């Protein structure tokens, strides 16, 4: 039983270490190769390209290369090319507008390797060459444009640059994808300062105009309200004599009510006045009148 367990453990260890070692030796002697997704393998043997594997999966090299597969990893070379989508951003490319304004343009573009052989063997720096081509095309196509169009039509400028660069990108083994003008800016600090001053002054003018328009609207509303109030007060003043006259006419139809009302009004006026009033009882009125006449000094005339 013990020997069986020891044999199982040794067999497991031999499988765990032997299989990877065997696969590594198979790859080393060119038995097979595994191409990952969006990659490409280019085999070069004695200065010549003998195989290009761009389909993902397992490939038997002996069936493709014959006897060269046994030596290609020793004498030759295998280039693994990344075919995934890549991108690059070029900042502040110098161009001039038709009006002579120094402008800077930031352009973003994406690309992928479409021809691995041209990418490897026809240019020492294909990525740099493509960037230089994009930069030159941007400056050549977008210079001497009107400033307003340069600031507004980024989509049109992007399409122009892409149409100019796309045919040339195949010469470097690249396929150009989307191209987009991300930024258009002024490069002269003095011009930027002048534009800022103009914008600030324009904002002040607009703010002042809005404020004055609001004040005018408030003034119009206030004048209209005052006019309507004056009309209403005038109508009320015109109606008051007619209302008072109608009330007095109704009161005058009853003499007792009329007399009582006028007496009350007379007493009210006396109370509201500043003169001193002395109330005399009815029974002492004649006696008091005699005393007042007697105390009055005779006139000299």
DSSP structure string for 42-103? EEEETTEEEEEE-SSEEEEHHHHHTTHHHHTTTTSEEEEEE-S-EEEEEEEEEEEBTT--EE
Q: Quick one: 252 exposed, middle or buried, by C-beta within 10 A (0-12, 13-18, 19+)?
A: exposed
For 240-272, how does the pLDDT look when each residue is reduced to its tens digit (9 = 90+)?
Answer: 888 989 988 998 898 888 899 888 988 888 888
Whether 3 has a pLDDT exceeding 80, the answer reads no
Whether 220 has a pLDDT exceeding 80, the answer reads yes
73, 30 in Cβ contact below 8 A? yes
191, 101 in Cβ contact below 8 A? yes
What's residue 8's pLDDT?
79
Q: How far is CA 58 from the centre of its chain?
A: 50
Whether 301 has a pLDDT exceeding 70, the answer reads no
Q: How far is CA 122 from the centre of its chain?
A: 45
Whether 299 has a pLDDT exceeding 70, the answer reads no
What's residue 266's pLDDT?
87
**Which backbone phi and psi does 66 adopt, to 5 degrees?**
70, -140
Whether 275 has a pLDDT exceeding 80, the answer reads no
Whether 298 has a pLDDT exceeding 70, the answer reads no
The alpha helices in the chain, defined as continuous H runs, are 2-28, 61-65, 68-71, 116-121, 126-142, 147-152, 154-169, 189-252, 255-272, 285-295
- Poorest-confidence range of 36-45, 151-160, 277-286, 292-301? 292-301
pTM: 0.60
Q: How far apart are CA 97 and CA 142, in angstroms?
A: 8
Whether 279 has a pLDDT exceeding 80, the answer reads no
* Average of per-residue pLDDT values in the chain: 88
Average pLDDT score over residue span 153-172: 89
For 107-129, how does the pLDDT look when each residue is reduced to its tens digit (9 = 90+)?
Answer: 999 999 999 999 999 889 999 99
What's residue 300's pLDDT?
56
Q: Who has greater pLDDT, 216 or 20?
A: 216
Q: Categorize the per-residue pLDDT at 230 as very low, low, confident or very high, splitting at 50, 70 and 90.
A: very high
Pairing of strands 39-45, 102-113: unpaired
DSSP state of 145: B
């Amino acid at each position: 039983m013990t020997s069986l367990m020891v044999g199982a453990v040794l067999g497991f260890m031999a499988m765990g270490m032997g299989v990877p070692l065997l696969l590594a030796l198979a790859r080393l002697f060119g038995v097979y190769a595994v191409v990952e997704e969006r990659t490409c393998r280019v085999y070069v043997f004695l200065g010549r390209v003998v195989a290009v594997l761009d389909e993902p999966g397992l490939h038997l090299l002996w069936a493709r290369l014959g006897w060269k597969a046994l030596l290609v990893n020793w004498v030759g070379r295998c280039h693994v090319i990344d075919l995934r989508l890549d991108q690059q951003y070029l900042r502040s490319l110098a161009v001039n507008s038709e009006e002579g304004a120094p402008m800077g343009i930031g352009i973003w573009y994406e690309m992928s390797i479409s021809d691995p052989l041209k990418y490897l063997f026809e240019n020492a720096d294909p990525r740099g060459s493509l960037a230089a081509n994009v930069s030159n095309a941007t400056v050549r196509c977008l210079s001497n444009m009107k400033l307003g169009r340069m600031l507004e039509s980024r989509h049109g400028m992007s399409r122009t640059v892409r149409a100019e660069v796309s045919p040339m990108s195949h010469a470097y083994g690249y396929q150009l994808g989307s191209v987009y003008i991300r930024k258009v800016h002024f490069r002269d600090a003095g011009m930027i300062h002048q534009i800022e001053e103009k914008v600030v002054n324009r904002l002040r003018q607009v703010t002042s105009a809005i404020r004055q328009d609001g004040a005018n609207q408030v003034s119009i509303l206030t004048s209209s309200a005052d006019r309507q109030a004056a009309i209403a007060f005038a109508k009320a003043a015109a109606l008051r004599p007619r209302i008072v006259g109608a009330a007095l006419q109704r009161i005058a139809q009853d003499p007792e009510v009329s007399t009582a009302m006028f007496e009350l009004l007379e007493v009210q006026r006396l109370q509201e006045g500043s003169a001193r009033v002395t109330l005399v009882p009815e029974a002492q009125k004649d006696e008091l009148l005699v005393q007042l006449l007697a105390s009055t000094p005779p006139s000299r005339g």
